Structure 1
Amino acid sequence: MTLSLAPVADPAAPLARRNPVAKLGAALLFSLPLVATLDPLTPALALAVELAVLPFFGIHLRVVARRAWPLSIAALGILLTMVLFAADRSGELLFALGPFAVTTGVASTAMGMFLRVFAVALPGIIVFATTDPTDLADALVQNAKAPARFAIGALAAFRLLPLLGQEWQMLTLARRARGIDAGRNPVAKLRIFASTTFALLVGALRRGGRLATAMDARGFDATTPRTHARIQRFSRADAMLLLGAAVLSGAALATSIVTGFFRPILG
């Protein structure tokens, strides 16, 4: 079990060079309107736009597929749950799965939820695939005026995430060396998984406490103004990225309204 959080995009790509705060803000602006409607057209249009801009971020589609595969499992689970257990089964009957009637209303809602999982999550994947965590923390402090204690603490925690994968592997190998193996017993596998997870959690809490003490000892909690080794500049191109994200997201939402697909969550 390994975990890599390094940027994997081409740093020379035009949108990959943008300010981290601008990319994060654009992802939020583009994703938030998608949760205002249940129709499948809005997330489908948004997903088409996101896939179209991937080359401008210097990201290959296979990289996105490799990082987003857990979303596929979640989306398929949501799709199956909506098809089988949806309360509103209005519309024409398409087919029946035993006692479950799949209507056009059920299919539309289920497909909307399925597409929305990818449309909302993909901008975040793009941001973290094109951004160095240190640059993001610097930009949050310099451009978004976030508290330095919060930004640097989040950066330290983010940098420690790959260690969790290595520690999980070490715990698994150590228990196997001691003869603790579930074999083909599913109950034993579940018990070993739970105990390994608890051991990993205890180790993470201890490491976090030591890290917090070490950071305070090095002056990270000081109230004096901090200097920055790497200056993050917010340019006109970064503002245009934010504006473009808002316009494209609004266009997708307006298209669903004009075509009659818009189904507001509230109301």
Structure 2
Amino acid sequence: MNFALGRYFPADFPLHRLDPRAKLLGSLLIMVGVLGARDLPALGLLALGLVATAALGRLPLSLVLGGLRPFFWLFLLTFLLNAYFTPGSPGPLGTSLEGTSQGAVLTTRLALMVLTASLLTLTTSPIDLTDGIERLLKPLRKVKVPAHEVAMMMVIALRFLPLLAEEAERIKKAQMARGVDFEGGILKRLKNMVPILVPLFMSAFRKADLLSLAMEARCYRGGEGRTSFSELRFGLGDGLALATSGLLALVGTIW
């Protein structure tokens, strides 16, 4: 399964070399711009910015856009609920024109949010992502927030997403080989998901247990006394990238 969210694409291109704090803050600004955009032209501008970002990172287009495929049913459900249940002028197939427009905007927003998060994880290694989140949360240590532990949990959760997606695909193929039919109506498909979900949960627990044992074997004790081999330095390129993200988000919001 092509699951880009949480996966790292190793390379040595300018986008990969940016400070993770700049990429984190830039991604947050883009997401704010996506939420603030009120129509499809504004969202289209933000989409062009994300496409340019993917090109700068030399990321395969099939990997970036293919990462939206696992969320297809979420996008479709969002569009249909708005198209059919938003009151307004009558449209085709029993929909409303206002609902169709609103559904298109909300669906595009969701897709751009997923793309933004995917670009962040594809161009930032787990170690850099952990360091970046920890540095951004560092001021919260004054109010007893465990910055390192929070950053580690967030990155581990992200990294588990593609692993679980691959495991689900493997279990599905194994069940199909045993004669389980995943075709048919919605109710039948939901019923046939049980042979996938139960082994998937068991596999997730096993992976979490193995991860905890591996971390304990490496004497992991949290962020206390932890040092970094390379220090993060915010450079001119990072500032330009952050300013570009802010400008793009601002233009998309006030369009």
TM range (shorter): 0.7 to 0.9
The whole-number CA distance in structure 2 between the counterparts of 1:185 and 1:33 is 39
Match of 2:106 in 1: 113
* Aligned residue identity for 2:127: T
* Aligned residue identity for 2:225: P
Correspondence 1:76 to 2:76? yes
Match of 1:135 in 2: 128
Cα deviations across residues 225-249 of structure 1 (Å, max 9, x unaligned)?
A: 2111343322232133222211211
The whole-number CA distance in structure 2 between the counterparts of 1:85 and 1:122 is 27
Match of 2:143 in 1: none
Compared CA separation, residues 249 and 170, structure 1 to 2 (3 A) = closer
Match of 1:102 in 2: 96
Match of 1:11 in 2: 12
> CA shift at 1:149, angstroms?
2.6
* Aligned residue identity for 2:96: V
The whole-number CA distance in structure 2 between the counterparts of 1:101 and 1:189 is 26
Is the CA contact (8 Å cut-off) linking 2:175 and 2:195 kept in structure 1?
Answer: no
Compared CA separation, residues 231 and 192, structure 1 to 2 (3 A) = same
Cα deviations across residues 186-240 of structure 1 (Å, max 9, x unaligned)?
A: 5786545314312321332244245335534644235642111343322232133
Correspondence 1:227 to 2:227? yes
1:17-166 paired onto structure 2 within 5 Å: 17-36=17-36, 38-87=38-87, 89-90=88-89, 95-97=91-93, 100-103=94-97, 105-142=98-135, 144-145=137-138, 147-161=147-161, 163-165=163-165
Is the CA contact (8 Å cut-off) linking 1:9 and 1:59 kept in structure 2?
Answer: no
Structure-2-length-normalised TM-score: 0.76
Unaligned runs of 5+ in 2: 139-145
> CA shift at 1:253, angstroms?
1.4
Compared CA separation, residues 138 and 107, structure 1 to 2 (3 A) = same
Is the CA contact (8 Å cut-off) linking 2:149 and 2:222 kept in structure 1?
Answer: no
DSSP 3-state at the match of 1:44: helix
The whole-number CA distance in structure 2 between the counterparts of 1:150 and 1:65 is 29
Q: Percent identity?
A: 23
> CA shift at 1:27, angstroms?
0.9
* Aligned residue identity for 2:235: S
> CA shift at 1:108, angstroms?
2.6
* Aligned residue identity for 1:126: L
> CA shift at 1:128, angstroms?
1.4
Question: Of residues 182, 193, 206 in structure 1, which corresponds to 2:180?
Answer: 182
DSSP 3-state at the match of 2:109: helix
Unaligned runs of 5+ in 1: 256-267
Is the CA contact (8 Å cut-off) linking 1:138 and 1:230 kept in structure 2?
Answer: no
The whole-number CA distance in structure 1 between the counterparts of 2:245 and 2:39 is 20
Matched residues, number? 245
Which structure: larger Rg?
1
The whole-number CA distance in structure 1 between the counterparts of 2:222 and 2:249 is 41
Q: Larger % of helix: which? A: 2
Is the CA contact (8 Å cut-off) linking 1:46 and 1:249 kept in structure 2?
Answer: yes
Match of 1:237 in 2: 237
Cα deviations across residues 43-74 of structure 1 (Å, max 9, x unaligned)?
A: 22211222233322222433322222234443
DSSP 3-state at the match of 2:193: helix
* Aligned residue identity for 1:194: V
The whole-number CA distance in structure 1 between the counterparts of 2:212 and 2:250 is 42
The whole-number CA distance in structure 2 between the counterparts of 1:59 and 1:173 is 28
